[in-house]
Copies of this chain bind each other. A is one copy, B any other.
Amino acid sequence: MEKQTITIYDVAREANVSMATVSRVVNGNPNVKPTTRKKVLEVIDRLDYRPNAIARGLASKKTTTVGVIIPDVTNLYFSSLARGIDDIATMYKYNIILANSDQNDQKEVNVLNTLLAKQVDGLIYMGHKITDELRAEFSRSKIPVVLAGTVDPDEQVGSVNIDYEAATEQVVSELVAKGHQRIAFVSGSQTEEPINSIYRMKGYKKALADAGITFDESLIFETEYTFSAGEEIYSKLAEASATAVFVGDDELAVGVLNGALDHDVRVPEEFELVTANNSKLTEMVRPKMSTITQPLYDIGAVSMRLLTKLMNKEEVDEKTIILPHNVANRGTTK
């Protein structure tokens, strides 16, 4: 004998009212006489009735769930954003369907399609590059999209970031001011990721140019965002006689730092390093890493907040949001 799920109809019958009335009290509609509300609530409680969100979604065309595409949850930068996203989502009664993409174009398209099939009310995308195919899906789907910690030169959808160019320029300038002539730039793909190829690189070049230092291609390195990649890359930095480095990802920076340490290089005395994301990793290693500080949790939180407004069709004066950044000089800079 299967346990019979109890529906709005059962409640209506037991309470001697119509389904509509039950629906009203469940949804907090004020147009219900207090006494009938009480009666209905009593029955709901007695029968332990739980509204079926799927049926509700079909009828109302709103699911109160949003899709979140993330490169990799185990990357502290992204998981910090994700945490901010989920907290605000919960606050506004949304749930998130989380999907890892590994920045793989095909996976991203696949997952976006299943997310759309599941009728998510909105989407938050984290990644590095928005392919044309993805962009096309975004626009044909008519649900609001917000990019979190992700820039897209074509500013069609909402986004929340810091000013990567200014931040990078500031960091590199400080390094230059300390006398460094050979400052390396280590990041993920520079051909694929506008955040690196455009914004950070611009800031880097600007800082050099301002100091009259010639840009040297051999000081630019691109690799994947893992600490083991960073460890390997240190020797290349040494070969290129870099005396300081700016790294675009904290986990990668941990690798570079350890690469230096493992080569018995003293940091910061002989080699200075600044990283980019201020994830908690920066304070977990020794020496603690100097870094651009950015409010990771808030970037996620603000993204979700922006998305709720967009989903509600509220007015938003600016959907390209830039949050403040700063620089924290800790143990890896003099």
Contact = CB atoms under 8 A, between A and B. Distances in A.
Nearest to A283: B227
Contacts of A76: 74, 76
A79 B74 contact: yes
Interface of A: 3, 50-55, 57-58, 63, 65, 72-74, 76, 79-80, 82-83, 86-87, 90, 95-100, 111, 113-119, 142, 227, 251, 254-255, 258, 261-262, 280-281, 283-286
A45 B243 CA distance: 57
B86 A73 contact: yes
Contacts of A285: 284-286
A52 B283 contact: no
24 contacts: A50-B113, A51-B117, A52-B119, A53-B117, A53-B119, A54-B57, A54-B58, A54-B118, A54-B119, A73-B79, A73-B86, A74-B79, A74-B280, A79-B79, A86-B98, A87-B100, A95-B115, A96-B99, A227-B283, A255-B284, A262-B286, A285-B285, A285-B286, A286-B286
Contacts of A87: 100
Contacts of A114: 53, 95
A115 B63 CA distance: 12
Contacts of A251: 284
Nearest to A110: B90
Contacts of A99: 86, 90, 95-96
Nearest to A62: B54
A86 B58 contact: no
B227 A3 contact: no
Given A96-B98, A97-B97, A284-B284, 16 more contacts: A50-B117, A52-B58, A53-B117, A54-B57, A73-B73, A73-B79, A73-B83, A73-B86, A74-B76, A74-B280, A76-B76, A82-B98, A86-B99, A90-B100, A95-B115, A262-B286
Contact of A281 (B96, B100, B261, B284): B284
B97 A65 contact: yes
A62 to B, nearest CB: 10
A116 B72 CA distance: 26
Contacts of A73: 73, 79, 82-83, 86
B90 A53 contact: no
